[in-house]
Amino acid sequence: MAISIEDIKKLRAMTGAGLADVKKALTEAEGDFDKAKELLRERGLAIAAKRSDRETSNGCVLVKKEGTFAAMIALKCETDFVANGADFIKLTQDILDAAIAAKAHTLDEVKALQLGESDVQAAVTQRSGITGEKMEL
C-alpha cells in the first residue's frame, strides 16, 4: 500500500515522531492511523527503556502560584537541544498547569494526573521515546 505524504504529515503532527518512523509505522499498519499510533507509542517506550541509565543534566523548571497554592515542576533531559525545544517546554507547562489545577502535593500525585489521553508519567515516557533522550520528572 502506498502511503501519501499528506498521511505522513498528518500522523507526524499528531504524534511528534520523526518522518521516517511515521512512514514505517503507517506502512506496517497498512494506512491505519490508530494502529500506526500504537506502533509509534510502543517503539517510544522501548527507546525510553534503553536510555534509563543515562544522566539527565538539562531541562526546564517552571513555577506557578494561584491564590495560596504554588507548585514547581522540573522536567529533566539529557541535552540542552531538547530542553530548549518548544514541545519539551510545553509539556513542562502542561504538567505544571495540571498540578496547580489538582493542587497536587507530591510527585506521585503529579505523575498520576491525567494529561490528554494518558497520565503525566506516560506523557513523559512518550516524549522521551520521540526525542530519543531519557527524561525525568
Tell me: do 85 and 110 sit in the same domain: yes
Whether residue 108 lies inside any domain: the answer is yes
Cell numbers given for 9: 504529515
Tell me: do 108 and 92 sit in the same domain: yes
Report pLDDT for 8: 81
DSSP reduced 3-state for 91: helix
Partners of residue 136 on adjacent β-strands: 76
Whether residue 12 lies inside any domain: the answer is yes
Place of cell 513523559: 124
Tell me: do 77 and 127 sit in the same domain: yes
Strand boundaries in the chain, DSSP class E = 58-66, 69-77, 114-115, 118-119
Tell me: do 83 and 40 sit in the same domain: no
What total number of domains does the chain contain?
A: 2
Q: Residue 131 and residue 134: Cα distance in Å, rounded? A: 8
Tell me: do 118 and 84 sit in the same domain: yes
Tell me: do 116 and 63 sit in the same domain: yes
Tell me: do 24 and 77 sit in the same domain: no
Whether residue 63 lies inside any domain: the answer is yes
Range of the domain at 11: 5-50
Q: What pTM was computed for the model?
A: 0.70
CATH code, domain with 21: 1.10.8.10
Report pLDDT for 102: 95
What pLDDT digit, counting tens, does each position of 35-81 carry?
A: 888 887 777 766 666 666 778 889 999 999 999 999 999 999 999 99
Whether residue 137 lies inside any domain: the answer is no
Whether residue 94 lies inside any domain: the answer is yes
Whether residue 136 lies inside any domain: the answer is no
